[in-house]
Amino acid sequence: MSGHGHGRLLQYPKVPIGFAGHGLGPLVFLNHELAAVENEMNAPKKDLDWGNLGFSYIETELRFSARWRDGVWSEGELVASAEMPVHEGSTVLHYAQSCFEGLKAQTAVNGDILLFRPDLNCARMGRTTQRLLMPQVPEALFMRGIQETVRANAAWVPPYGSGASLYIRPFLVGVGENLGLRPAPEFEFRVFVSPVGPYYKGGGLSLIDLAVVDLDRAAPKGLGAFKAGANYAGGLMATQMAKELGAQEALYLDPAEHRFLEEAGSANIVLKMKDGTIVTPESESILPSVTRRSVMTLAADVLGMKTVARPVEFLKEVADIEEFAACGTAAVISPVGRVRSEDTWHRFYGNGEAIGPVTQQLYDLLTAIQKGEREDPYGWTHAV
């Protein structure tokens, strides 16, 4: 693996997982089908303007689909259609019984296609499914769905150095005939991919602004710590309100007292305090970010900084914050220049007009590992 320490995804066996008794039988993978997937891995890249992609949906050829029924998962298969016919009584339509994950595939400097910590996405989806009374997607099925979808759409993985990546969206929804408020009788697990550019306009590491709005992201003891679809529908208005105030995204305070930092609409928060400490807000309502977890590890291990997860009372501590950043799979690490709260714009590093050096270092360290440019002593990256 060219000395970069990448782990390799297990080649999960294509043994039948189920649908026993439904007459559907196990999916049989023929030699010509396997050969077709291998050909996709070697296919020339699509003719796209890779350096100018936005963060929007681009349909690719294939996606992965598996169904759960009567307590049993199907084998799963690659399908061509991006459409999903669902029963009108499906719980995903009425009761928001849905969850999803997000991760990326990158082309490494040596040409490998790398995934970043997919095991943590699988574990997080498992926690969400438990909270929403949905069947857990087996790790073997989750990983195989991701791997087969990426391999089948390898021509859509942006080339090394383009600044773009292949966004991967695994999701699970409740489907099937239903009316009352109860878990769905069937569930569909899907994985689709789309080549994307930076989440925020500006590309790469560019400054953004956040605004605290008078809405809560989640209730205490609610769904805040879980990647449930309902959380995001509820946040659409907050994002709109923040944009009307001149920011790119909303910043949420705790729902109980509206004093403590929680997270941005699509990212966790990481702070570099003036005393040199790296702090991330702690709350039972915050969604645990894979990117934030990785950034905190790099700050401690590589930069030698003290890292702390604790409650952060925003207005009381705002003067002690030197660098403010939002981080997540989509955003990677975005330096925050200004935060609006109670009609006041609070400015951070360089009067809100410059990228802080620690934020820059963390971005460079993280993206270098993700692209195979730097040794990966943690085994975070996995070649497809």
Token readout for 355 is 């990228």
Same domain, 220 and 116: no
Q: What share of the chain is helix, strand, coil (3-state, %, to 5)?
A: 25, 25, 45
Q: pLDDT per position in the chain (384 positions), as tens?
A: 334 455 544 343 333 333 333 333 333 344 455 555 566 788 899 999 999 999 999 999 999 999 999 999 999 999 999 999 999 999 999 999 999 999 999 999 999 999 999 999 999 999 999 999 999 999 999 999 999 999 999 999 999 999 999 999 999 999 999 999 999 999 999 999 999 998 876 666 889 999 999 999 999 899 999 999 999 999 999 999 999 999 999 999 999 999 999 999 889 999 999 999 999 999 999 999 999 999 999 999 999 999 999 999 999 999 999 999 999 998 789 999 999 999 999 999 999 999 999 999 999 999 999 999 999 999 999 999
Same domain, 191 and 253: no
**Contacts for 94 with CB less than 8 Å, ≥ 6 apart:** none
CA distances from 284 to 243, 252, 261, 288, 310 (A): 27, 13, 12, 9, 11
Q: Which of 227, 272, 306, 371 is catalytic?
A: 227
Residue type, 238: A
Q: How far apart are CA 237 and CA 130, in angstroms?
A: 28
Same domain, 228 and 298: yes
Same domain, 158 and 190: yes
**Contacts for 294 with CB less than 8 Å, ≥ 6 apart:** 116, 117, 366, 380
The SS3 assignment for 7 reads strand
Same domain, 161 and 231: no
The SS3 assignment for 256 reads coil
Same domain, 366 and 225: yes
CA distances from 170 to 119, 126, 167, 202, 286 (A): 13, 12, 10, 27, 21
Boundary residue ending a domain (178, 197, 216): 197
Same domain, 247 and 108: no
**Contacts for 276 with CB less than 8 Å, ≥ 6 apart:** 305, 306
In a domain, 116, yes or no: yes
Same domain, 262 and 221: yes
Q: How far apart are CA 188 and CA 74, in angstroms?
A: 10
In a domain, 358, yes or no: yes
CB distance 169 to 193 below 8 Å: yes
CATH code assigned at 152 = 3.30.470.10
In a domain, 378, yes or no: no
pLDDT at 41: 80
pLDDT at 156: 98
pLDDT at 209: 97
The SS3 assignment for 179 reads coil
In a domain, 380, yes or no: no
CB distance 372 to 6 below 8 Å: yes
- For 88-207, list the strands marked E by DSSP: 98-100, 103-107, 113-116, 165-175, 186-196
Boundary residue ending a domain (165, 197, 229): 197
Same domain, 168 and 28: yes
- For the chain, list the strands marked E by DSSP: 7-8, 63-69, 72-73, 77-79, 98-100, 103-107, 113-116, 165-175, 186-196, 208-212, 249-253, 261-264, 268-273, 278-281, 307-310, 321-328, 332-341, 344-347, 381-383
In a domain, 64, yes or no: yes
How many domains would you assign to the chain?
2
HEC sequence for 330-374: CCEEEEEEEEEECCEEEECHHHHCCCCHHHHHHHHHHHHHHCCCC
Boundary residue ending a domain (158, 176, 197): 197
Same domain, 215 and 165: no
The bridge status of strand 63-69 relative to strand 186-196 is antiparallel
In a domain, 138, yes or no: yes
Q: Is 14 a catalytic residue?
A: no
In a domain, 47, yes or no: yes
Q: How far apart are CA 278 and CA 270, in angstroms?
A: 7
CATH code assigned at 234 = 3.20.10.10
Task: List beta partners, residue 67.
Answer: 188
In which domain, by residue range, is 65 found?
7-197
pLDDT at 11: 40
Same domain, 178 and 226: no
In a domain, 383, yes or no: no
Look up the pTM and report it.
0.89
Same domain, 21 and 154: yes
